[in-house]
Structure 1
Amino acid sequence: MSASSDKKHFEVVVIGFGPTGAIAANLLGAGGITTLAIDRARDIYDKPRAIALDHEIMRLFDNLGIAEQVSRHVAPFPASEHFGAQGQLIRRIDMVAEPYPLGYTPSMVFTQPPVEQVMRDHVTSYTSVTVELGTTLVAIRQHAKAATVVLEQDDGGIREITADYVIACDGASSAVRQQLGISFDDLDFDEPWLVVDLLVNESAIGKLPATAAQFCNPARPTTYIVGPGNHRRFEIMLRPSEDRHAMEDPQQVWRLLAPWLAPEDGRLWRAASYRFHALVASRWSQGRVLLAGDAAHQQPPFIGQGMCQGLRDAANLCWKLARVLRGQSRAALLDSYEAERSTHVRELTTRIKAIGRVICEQDPIAAAARDARILAEGGGAPRTITRQEIVPPLTTGLLATKANAANGTLFPQPWIISDSGRALLDGVAGTGWRLVLDGRGALNSSAIDAATRDAGINTITIGGAGLAEESGVVARWFERHGCSAALVRPDHYVYGVATDAPELAALLSESNERLH
């Protein structure tokens, strides 16, 4: 990590250097933004907390150049089979089938400590970013044109710096959020659970389910996750009468695991009790300070979106901050950060909470009715839903005013085929603002290039005489949405679409006006 800096002013200060803070620092560094990232701890927490990520996040890692390193600690997330009160299969939650829409396995499990180290190490490749560990935020004072940040190093030294903006990524108990007096809106979910991570002996792996499982047993709801290698996780709901901290004792943990494993079958890596919450900050910014990650929201873990949500925050915010700091957009652009992310988080949390309510049912009669209802929804047989359909699109914020179902969705990333081999679209066409044209249509890229070039938009044609895709992912996307052009934001969300030249001209004019 970088040594302490003598700089007195940074464009951005990132408070907290966990996954959200590290990705924010990477994104700002990639944009050449002078950034200071701090964390009071010097070392990465050496035990796993997050265990799941998805293709949107892997695409982000790829854009930063760390996907290959991350992939060494990642495995596909197998289907999760849900079993009812009588042990019967009632449904499955799986991932969408190939060809994968973003080029990566849609759902993955990973081992957090080494992946977090990859994120941190990559920050050092950016000369505009300074990292100071063992550094604690003391106070933030805001002024008309900057914020003053007071820092204390672990040797007792106090210093003050100024920043144009501050991003608070300092976790669920965020000191920044508390200093700002920002409260959480409670979305009404509060349940005690014990999370157990194990490294299971090879000889005992066969005792466990081959795929992920959700045991919706009203006596003891339990989640089972297959992690990379021999890493396995159990999330076990605790009863009201049980002291959640006492249940972390290894003897108690092995008692709960007895239906599957004995102490000689593996090694306990972590046993931690939590109250699973559904909380969202009442506001995500105050003046020049913005919240991200767990400082802004917490959700139950039932489809593994906790870390993903924080990294989406960073991806949404950092390109907007870069535009504002470069003078390309007014500061009002930052208002779309809260509008988009808070709405998205609330909707996804509501969906996760509904899944959690089903899983957490402890009344046997209600559980039997639940099982019958879920099976009836599948026509009497267990049906399969995908994790990807649970995650909503953006529905508000910086999106085209002309409605289309494509607006706010993630633009797909196909494999592109050329004489030099196959590569993912982002590696061929880059990121930033992009106008993607259907090469089979009548829209002519040469007539569009001048207008888009002046606006900093890269025009890409796929199909026809343009780039050749491997599996028709984009071609089917254009057909499904009834359009011939898509204007895509730097975070890969679709701003809007057009079917012909007049619609496209109006789309480009509107986006240019709103951005500038």
Structure 2
Amino acid sequence: MRSSSKHDYDVIVVGYGPTGLCAASLLSKLGYSVCVFERWPTLYGLPRLIGFDAESARMLQTAGDIYTALKESYPIRRYVTYDREMEPLVEYQWSEDHIAGYPIKTATYQPYIEDGLDEVSRSRGVRVNTGWQVTGIEQDADGVNVTAVPWSKEEVGENLKPALAKTTRAKWVVGADGANSILRGILQPEIEDMPYRAAWLSIDIERRECLDPKYMYGTSWQIAEVGKVIVIVPAGTHRMRFEVQVDPDGDHSDLLKEDVAYEMLEDYLGITREQAEIVRLTIYPFGAMMVKPWRFGRVFLAGDAVHRMPPFLGEGAASGMRDATTLAWKLDLVERGVADPSFLDTYEEERSPHVRHHVVVSVAIGEVVTESDPEIAEARNKELREGDAPPPPADPILTTGVLLRDANGEITAPLVGDLAPQGWIHLNGSTGRFDDVVGWGFQLITRDVDPLSLLDDEQQAFLESIGAFSVGVTTKADAPGLATDLTWAYDRFFDEHGIEAFIMRPDYYLFGTVGDIADVPAMVDSLRSQIAGTVPAAAAS
């Protein structure tokens, strides 16, 4: 616990969904005292998030108990879109794992993810206040006062108890209280609403033993029926989600009856109530928006509080977790005293354009998938049948902020801003995934040489000051002091891209790469100048 006598905690996190859970866990992992206010009395306990990507899995590996989080999960290796006659229109396959060390897509069950993060957070001393709603914040030069009151949901509405209000003080506040963020309402940022709205009727089921396994494993699929898209997505090994497009402005109260939902399952998929049990039935409206700014002095917004997107990429929760991960390491550098508080402005500078890519692409996919004009939809299907399907969207990279640049501010080294690899290694008697064996933070990784042997005392001291890990990896049999690259993940990565070393940021993105091992000291110096000074502006395009 690092909080001073002036503060009750180092950080207050408002909201305890995936973004808030990740923020609380990572900040406590870094040694900070954390207090959470969540208005609901318990974790949600039902699936909203039912899938994530490899980058999210690596974040869960760092922030929580990955084995709890991945309980009953299953890799999604195939995605198929059919027309109304069940003829395939487009198919994507992901047979290989991602360089982050996990399947590209994984079907999962959100309560297990929340359990894996919550249990670790509480074990590190995070104070979790459930059933408390934040009603006000006041900040000064040294901290933020957060006022919260007991809250509960009653049949006739909300129940607040202002007489029992309490005020808690922290150095920093992270607002991760979702799409209907109360903190955002208090701060009043500018909201950019994007002109796209749609809705699903969402039916979550648990399988019974007699259900055909084709509905449960390895494949997500949708039926592109005009005006009524149908989506079938596994939610781990025991559950699945069935979604039907509905009018976002319509009254769908009749559809929220279990008997009607069972009839729909049988009519569309041949699934009977003897084969599956409905566990959640809801109308899920969705749209898209972005917010600016993300920072208000000592208060930061994250996750759905600053960006919202349609579900077509499955990146909503992952984007919030990226926010939490990025903000955690930047706050840590400021609290360590190695970066000025102005360094925190790079949080929005980096994350906003990155997540905008996901928002814009999600909207574009949604506009195509949910097309309600029969002629346009049939023309779309015709193009897909003829093999004109676009490739799966590429992962966005970082293009702004703390990245290796040349003297002109240009990014010229390969892969800068892209995701870094994670393989299995053996080092000092331990075997496992790199982050588990070495640790979470900045990573300086070199090929066949100890990176510290390349650096002077001042450079080594800088790396120590930011909590960096410096490791040489090798495939050679006898290389004392180096990590054995058991799966050849790093060796292949170096060969494929013509590099000999890289620095990974704590959010798993590459700060820089070098093709000549002699350039490692200059790369370290560049990182030091950007953390300690002003991040150079990207060259004008």
Report the TM-score, using the length of structure 1 for normalisation: 0.90
Q: Is 1:42–1:133's contact at 8 Å kept on the other side of the alignment?
A: yes
Q: What residue is the counterpart of 1:177 in the other structure?
A: 184
Q: Is 1:85–1:368's contact at 8 Å kept on the other side of the alignment?
A: no
Q: What residue is the counterpart of 1:3 in the other structure?
A: none
Residue 197 of structure 2 aligns to which amino acid in structure 1? D
Q: Is 1:351–1:390's contact at 8 Å kept on the other side of the alignment?
A: no
Q: What residue is the counterpart of 1:101 in the other structure?
A: 99
Residue 125 of structure 1 aligns to which amino acid in structure 2? S
Q: What residue is the counterpart of 1:232 in the other structure?
A: 240
1:150-169 → structure 2 map (5 Å cutoff): 150-153=147-150, 156-169=163-176
> Structure 1, residues 149-180: CA drift from partner, whole Å, max 9, x if none?
11223564222222221100111110100111
Residue 117 of structure 1 aligns to which amino acid in structure 2? D
Instruction: Give the C-alpha shift of residue 33 in structure 1.
Output: 1.0
Percent pairwise identity = 28
Bigger mean CA deviation after superposition, 202-211 or 314-323: 202-211
Secondary structure of 1:217's counterpart equals: coil
Bigger mean CA deviation after superposition, 189-198 or 7-16: 7-16
> Structure 1, residues 130-167: CA drift from partner, whole Å, max 9, x if none?
22222221201122222221122356422222222110
Q: Which residue of 207, 221, 225 maps to 1:213?
A: 221
Q: Is 1:109–1:227's contact at 8 Å kept on the other side of the alignment?
A: yes
Whole-Å separation in 2 of the counterparts to 1:329 and 1:451: 17
Secondary structure of 1:140's counterpart equals: strand
Q: Which residue of 282, 297, 306 maps to 2:316?
A: 306
Secondary structure of 2:211's counterpart equals: helix
1:27-176 → structure 2 map (5 Å cutoff): 27-64=26-63, 66-95=65-94, 97-98=96-97, 100-127=98-125, 129-153=126-150, 156-176=163-183
Q: Give the total of aligned pairs.
A: 501
Q: What residue is the counterpart of 2:521 in the other structure?
A: 505
Q: What residue is the counterpart of 1:461 in the other structure?
A: 472
> Structure 1, residues 196-223: CA drift from partner, whole Å, max 9, x if none?
1011322133584863211111141111
> Structure 1, residues 385-439: CA drift from partner, whole Å, max 9, x if none?
55xx533122212111242341111110011246957411112222211211122
Q: Is 1:452–1:459's contact at 8 Å kept on the other side of the alignment?
A: no
Q: What residue is the counterpart of 2:348 in the other structure?
A: 338
Whole-Å separation in 1 of the counterparts to 2:164 and 2:283: 35
Q: Does residue 196 in structure 1 map to residue 203 in structure 2? A: yes
Report the TM-score, using the length of structure 2 for normalisation: 0.86
Residue 197 of structure 1 aligns to which amino acid in structure 2? D
Whole-Å separation in 1 of the counterparts to 2:434 and 2:208: 41
Q: Does residue 244 in structure 1 map to residue 244 in structure 2? A: no
Q: Does residue 428 in structure 1 map to residue 437 in structure 2? A: yes
Whole-Å separation in 2 of the counterparts to 1:461 and 1:197: 47
Q: What residue is the counterpart of 2:11 in the other structure?
A: 12
Q: For residues 449 and 205 of structure 1, do their structure 2 counterparts lie closer, same or farther at Cα, with a shift above 3 Å needed?
A: farther
Instruction: Give the C-alpha shift of residue 271 in structure 1.
Output: 1.1
Whole-Å separation in 1 of the counterparts to 2:18 and 2:451: 42
Secondary structure of 2:313's counterpart equals: coil
Q: What residue is the counterpart of 1:268 in the other structure?
A: 278
Whole-Å separation in 2 of the counterparts to 1:502 and 1:69: 43
* Structure 2 unpaired stretches of 5+: 152-160, 533-541
Q: Is 2:198–2:247's contact at 8 Å kept on the other side of the alignment?
A: no
Whole-Å separation in 1 of the counterparts to 2:57 and 2:280: 26
Q: Is 1:336–1:397's contact at 8 Å kept on the other side of the alignment?
A: yes
Residue 296 of structure 1 aligns to which amino acid in structure 2? V
Q: For residues 183 and 265 of structure 1, do their structure 2 counterparts lie closer, same or farther at Cα, with a shift above 3 Å needed?
A: farther
Q: Is 1:245–1:273's contact at 8 Å kept on the other side of the alignment?
A: no
1:379-398 → structure 2 map (5 Å cutoff): 385=391, 390-398=394-402
Whole-Å separation in 2 of the counterparts to 1:478 and 1:235: 43
> Structure 1, residues 24-80: CA drift from partner, whole Å, max 9, x if none?
111111111122111122211222111112222222222235112222242222411
Q: Is 1:487–1:497's contact at 8 Å kept on the other side of the alignment?
A: yes
Q: Is 2:64–2:116's contact at 8 Å kept on the other side of the alignment?
A: no
Instruction: Give the C-alpha shift of residue 16 in structure 1.
Output: 1.0
* CA RMSD across the alignment: 2.5
Q: For residues 483 and 114 of structure 1, do their structure 2 counterparts lie closer, same or farther at Cα, with a shift above 3 Å needed?
A: closer
Whole-Å separation in 1 of the counterparts to 2:139 and 2:428: 55
Residue 490 of structure 1 aligns to which amino acid in structure 2? P
> Structure 1, residues 334-392: CA drift from partner, whole Å, max 9, x if none?
111111111111101212222222211222222222123234455xxx78x55xx5331
Whole-Å separation in 2 of the counterparts to 1:57 and 1:240: 30
Secondary structure of 1:506's counterpart equals: helix
**Higher relative contact order structure (alpha carbons within 8 Å, sequence separation ≥ 6):** 1
Secondary structure of 1:455's counterpart equals: helix
Instruction: Give the C-alpha shift of residue 451 in structure 1.
Output: 4.6
Q: Does residue 416 in structure 1 map to residue 425 in structure 2? A: yes
Whole-Å separation in 2 of the counterparts to 1:84 and 1:295: 36
Q: What residue is the counterpart of 1:514 in the other structure?
A: 530
Whole-Å separation in 1 of the counterparts to 2:274 and 2:514: 62
Whole-Å separation in 1 of the counterparts to 2:48 and 2:60: 19
Bigger mean CA deviation after superposition, 231-240 or 24-33: 231-240
1:402-413 → structure 2 map (5 Å cutoff): 402=406, 403=411, 404-413=413-422
Residue 369 of structure 1 aligns to which amino acid in structure 2? A
Residue 225 of structure 1 aligns to which amino acid in structure 2? V
Secondary structure of 2:420's counterpart equals: coil
* Structure 1 unpaired stretches of 5+: 1-5
Q: Is 2:452–2:460's contact at 8 Å kept on the other side of the alignment?
A: no
Q: For residues 204 and 96 of structure 1, do their structure 2 counterparts lie closer, same or farther at Cα, with a shift above 3 Å needed?
A: closer
Whole-Å separation in 2 of the counterparts to 1:85 and 1:350: 27
Q: What residue is the counterpart of 1:492 in the other structure?
A: 508
> Structure 1, residues 433-483: CA drift from partner, whole Å, max 9, x if none?
12111228xx96512264542112322112254322233322222233332
Secondary structure of 1:42's counterpart equals: coil
